[in-house]
Structure 1
Amino acid sequence: MSTMSARDTVTPITHDERQKRLKALQHSLPAFALDAVMITPGASMRYLFGLTWRETERLVCAVVSTKRVVFVCPKFEDTALLAALPTPHDFAWWEEHEDPRSVVTSVLSENNCQRVGVDPSCSYGQVFALGNLTAATLTSAGPVLQSLRSQKSASEIALMQAAKTLTLDVHVAIFEWIKPGMRMSEVIAEIDRLHRAGGADNGSFFCAVQFGEGTSHPHGVPGDPTLAKHELILIDTGCTIDGYHSDITRTYALDKQSEDVETLWQLEKEAQAAAFDAAQIGRPCGDVDAAARSVLEAHGLGPDYQLPGLPHRTGHGIGLEIHEGPYLVRGDDTPLAAGMCFSNEPMIVVPHHFGIRLEDHFYMTDTGAKWFTEPQKSLYQPL
């Protein structure tokens, strides 16, 4: 692997870009019949404010209306929160003996907010308690937030490109290093080490390593198996750079496989290519899933989610969350638009025998889809 950190090639999201996002959210509220949204810790809070707070029983939230932003926060955390927020905002502090939902209710009332969208990452307990106190109508802020976050800016795409390039480099290093006799836990630890060495935020964000029959379970099964000679290898891993995700899967073998494995590996590659070709501006997201399934069904797999075949959606949106909307799945009629970013992973599962998943990501441009990473070349030379 290169000794250069992935961070050396990218610029973090700027204050100006976050301010534009916030203004876009405020401008969009009337179109979604909302007077305000309540943003809680999670991806949307990071997206809008750069704040990487964690949700606890102590409510921290931002009430965003068309003209004002008010943070509702515990008073004893004031120094930490003020230091973490680069832009001054209004604050409504609450003390330990007070109910923070009452403070939110007061903020909503003072700003005449009757229709309030709540961040989908907010816990049910907080929403339930707020609903018992406020006269406002609570609904999900998911649609308005997705409308903003689904189309990535050039700086967001650059951060994801850096993360995905790093993860692909890690896959290359592992392919050259892995050998029979290694335990799954050894491989996972090495992947984490390489991600850390390459400049990822916190090593691997996740890592699934599967051998032989274990590859037939989409996300693996408990245990710590050892790689045996002639076994198929499936590795699905990713990291984050400045919060933006990679998520790449390679399925390969170190030695000759059966004709069944070779045939279905090629079919998996064909299905992935069909999904990519179907990703055209203006087409519904669900069409991409249908394109992959049509290839598999033409060869006797499926139909639908039946096995042998494809047991899950073809892909998911990606950004500050590893899985985020819209999705490449039947029923998602969201039109594909420039800036949207997706995984492409129409896995083939043969129960109790093996599974093959090739996962790369693409982003939409005005002229169609473009790969972040080039798809795997062959079963025996994956990278």
Structure 2
Amino acid sequence: MNHLKQIAAGLDAYGIDAMLVNSEPGEFYAIGFHGEGNVVVTREGCYYFTDSRYIEAANDLVTGAQITMTDRGRNYKAMVQEVIDRHSIKALGFEDAYLSVADYNGWKEGLTAQLVPAQDLLTGLRASKDEEELARMRKAQDITDAAFTAICRFIKPGVTEQEIAARLQYEMLCRGAEKMSFDPIVASGPNGSKPHAIPSDKKVALGEFITMDFGCKFGGYCSDMTRTVALGEPTEEMRKVYDVVLQAQLAGIAAAKAGVPGRDIHNAAAKVIEEAGYGDYFGHGFGHSVGIEIHESPNANHSNEKPMPEGAAVSAEPGIYLPGKFGVRIEDVLILRAGGNEDITRSPKELIIL
């Protein structure tokens, strides 16, 4: 899998003669390969430069690009300059969201072409997933759903948040995950009011909510899901808050489709929480895009006025967080279509009592 043709087709729209891609996610999107190197996309051809650690694998896996290995007398900058000379490149796009100031200055001083910020070229392409990308995301989500089923059998009073987090990773790796999308979040009882709590040695106890936010990578693409379960019988307040979050998520999902501004999707969910009296306890956006990275653009939040694109993979994760008490978050991943969306998360959302 690669997206070299799509990148080349976008050069004219950004007024550039070629695109330099050297971020980790950009490299994988461009050539479908996890290494450390530089991709140069021109209208006439594509190039991939890497070092001795990755050259053999690159020759086996990378298609659609001329592959060359660096050596002591010919570094990345020299190789890119050769392409600039060969194709008479005047304007070279680069990933300005990933390049540090020091790296930018290094490239600028060593090349004759003008460096032009062109992050939006890749960001725009990555926002709409093709069917091969979506197939990998569905598989990653299948693994994550199966891990959730397994973890519900593992949780019992006395196990720690750290043990639950470790077990989640084990369950995903055993089912074919390459690695985690991010470090799992496991938060029980009062720790649940921290949306990005770090799993601790706290033991889970009867009468508590346990929020688990986790995901894995398959084929280079992420899954992401959150479920909040009750260990033992929940209180009336816990049930009420859980139901509000669930209804908010369902309202956001109902509003989510291609062509709808991200803020409208967010507001559909936020309205439910606000009207229930918990507006002050929902401080983040309804969702973010997911793909090669766990947080991509565009977002379904209050500040995004732009229409969401067809094929975007977006999380649906409202939450309510009551300091000193508990928190509830429920998260699925949606594929946006013109007439609605596909929810690729299969785990039940009704309150589970363990």
* Structure 1 SS opposite 2:11: helix
Aligned length: 353
**Selected match of 2:332 from 360, 374, 382:** 360
Q: Does the aligned pair in 1 maintain the 2:45–2:65 contact within 8 Å? A: no
Given the alignment of the two structures, is residue 130 of structure 1 paired with residue 145 of structure 2, yes or no?
no
- Which residue does 1:111 correspond to in 2? 87
Q: CA deviation at 1:340?
A: 1.1
- Which residue does 1:149 correspond to in 2? 126
Q: Which stretch has the larger CA shift, 373-382 or 39-48?
A: 373-382
- Which residue does 1:8 correspond to in 2? none
- Which residue does 1:348 correspond to in 2? 320
1:314-333 alignment, distance < 5 Å: 314-333=286-305
Structure 1 segments of 4+ aligned residues over 6 angstroms from their partners: none
C-alpha distance in 2, partners of 1:72/1:41? 13
**Selected match of 1:48 from 7, 22, 30:** 30
Q: Does the aligned pair in 1 maintain the 2:145–2:346 contact within 8 Å? A: no
AA matched with 1:116: L
Change (3 A) 1:296 1:186: same
Pairwise CA RMSD: 2.4
State the TM-score, normalizing by the size of structure 1: 0.84
Q: Which stretch has the larger CA shift, 330-339 or 273-282?
A: 330-339
Q: Give per-residue Cα distances to partners, 1:60-91, cap 9 Å, x unaligned.
A: 20111222212334478644543442445164
Given the alignment of the two structures, is residue 35 of structure 1 paired with residue 7 of structure 2, yes or no?
no
Q: Does the aligned pair in 1 maintain the 2:184–2:213 contact within 8 Å? A: yes
C-alpha distance in 2, partners of 1:277/1:175? 28
Q: CA deviation at 1:118?
A: 1.4
- Which residue does 2:342 correspond to in 1? 370
Q: Give per-residue Cα distances to partners, 1:109-145, cap 9 Å, x unaligned.
A: 4423233221333444322211233343334332111
Change (3 A) 1:275 1:204: closer
Q: CA deviation at 1:259?
A: 2.2
Q: Which stretch has the larger CA shift, 370-379 or 334-343?
A: 370-379
State the TM-score, normalizing by the size of structure 2: 0.91
Q: CA deviation at 1:222?
A: 6.1
Given the alignment of the two structures, is residue 169 of structure 1 paired with residue 169 of structure 2, yes or no?
no
* Structure 1 SS opposite 2:231: coil
* Structure 2 SS opposite 1:233: strand
Q: Does the aligned pair in 2 maintain the 1:102–1:130 contact within 8 Å? A: no
- Which residue does 2:250 correspond to in 1? 273
1:84-95 alignment, distance < 5 Å: 84-89=61-66, 91=68, 94-95=70-71
Q: Does the aligned pair in 1 maintain the 2:256–2:341 contact within 8 Å? A: yes
User: Which runs of 5 or more structure 1 residues have no equivalent in the other structure?
Assistant: 1-12, 55-59, 303-307
- Which residue does 1:6 correspond to in 2? none
